[in-house]
Amino acid sequence: MAEQRQYKYYDLIMAIFVTVLLCSNLIGPAKIWSFKGFSFGAGILFFPISYLFGDILTEVYGYARARKVVWAGFGALVFASIMSWVVLALPPADGWNGQAAHEAVFGTTPRIVFASITAYWIGEFSNSYILAKMKIWTKGKWLFTRTIGSTIVGTFIDSLIFYPVAFYGIWTNEQVITVLFGNYFLKVLWETIATPVTYKIINFLKQKEHIDYYDHKTNFTPFSLETDDKTVEELR
């Protein structure tokens, strides 16, 4: 087997992951919706998809390749934040009346941007690490325990970082706690409901790519872009 294999669907999964991440962070926050007296950012409907694809990447391709995708998403978020700041800072042309609307949709405080990017980075790496380790502990059995278990940990860390960092001192402590746990519950519920879809995608990719990755010898540092094929176990 070649030391560096080429995978048919890996780049496509990466593109989907980054697209969902950018859209849920840039478009989602611009809309607040209400359900049975509770208000939520619309991004919560789509952001959990990034954790779903994070699970798929780690389960099929291994932690190292999932790590590259997490970094790709991180870079995309940083660039999008910088681009938004630059575009909004440019003086509007005479007669153009869309500045206020543009700022309402894409304008956000540096504090919220920092909270979002930090929470994403730590949450996604935690999710991938837990899933990779659980796959070894379970010897590849009981996939649902890994996808749901890693999401429980990853989304909790994400929520625990984002809401206090973004809104402490702006919202009341009760509001921060209520929204934190309310959104966390919805994210885990979303991932749990999507488990059958996750199964189908993972099984499809394993068969088509002829791969089932176990991270026995992986270096789990997040500060690397290296991949290692030494612990790939081929499907027969």
Q: What is the pLDDT of residues 53-106, one digit of tens each?
A: 999 999 999 999 999 999 999 999 999 999 989 999 999 999 888 888 888 777
Q: Is residue 172 part of a domain?
A: yes
The CATH number linked to 174 is: 1.10.1760
Give the predicted TM-score (pTM) of the model.
0.91
Structural domain includes residue 232: no
The residue whose two tokens read 């500045």 is 99
207 within domain boundaries: yes
Could you tell me if residue 228 is inside a domain?
no
- Count the domains in the chain: 1
Amino acid at residue number 187:
K
Q: Could you tell me if residue 227 is inside a domain?
A: no
Q: Phi-psi region for residue 169, left (φ > 0), alpha (ψ -120 to 50) or beta?
A: left
| Predicted confidence (pLDDT) per residue in 89-98, tens digit | 999 999 888 8
Structure tokens that stand for 123 in this block: 């949450």
* Domain contains 151: yes
Cα(175)–Cα(125) distance, rounded to whole angstroms? 27
Say if 231 falls within a structural domain: no
230 domain residue, yes or no: no
Phi, psi (degrees; rounded to nearest 5) at 39: -105, 140
Q: What is the pLDDT of residues 108-124, one digit of tens each?
A: 778 889 999 999 999 99
- Tell me the DSSP string of 108-162: --HHHHHHHHHHHHHHHHHHHHHHHHHHHHTTT--HHHHHHHHHHHHHHHHHHHH
7: tokens are 């995978």
Range of the domain at 156: 10-217
Confidence of residue 38 (pLDDT cuts 50, 70, 90): low
pLDDT score recorded for residue 66: 97
Q: What average pLDDT does range 13-19 have in this prediction?
A: 95
Tell me which DSSP letter residue 47 carries. Answer: T
Q: Is the pLDDT of residue 2 over 60?
A: no
Task: Give Cβ neighbours of residue 190 (< 8 Å, ≥ 6 apart).
Answer: 48
Is 149 exposed, middle or buried, given 0-12, 13-18 or 19+ CB atoms closer than 10 A? middle
User: What is the C-alpha separation between 157 and 125, in angstroms, rounded?
Assistant: 10
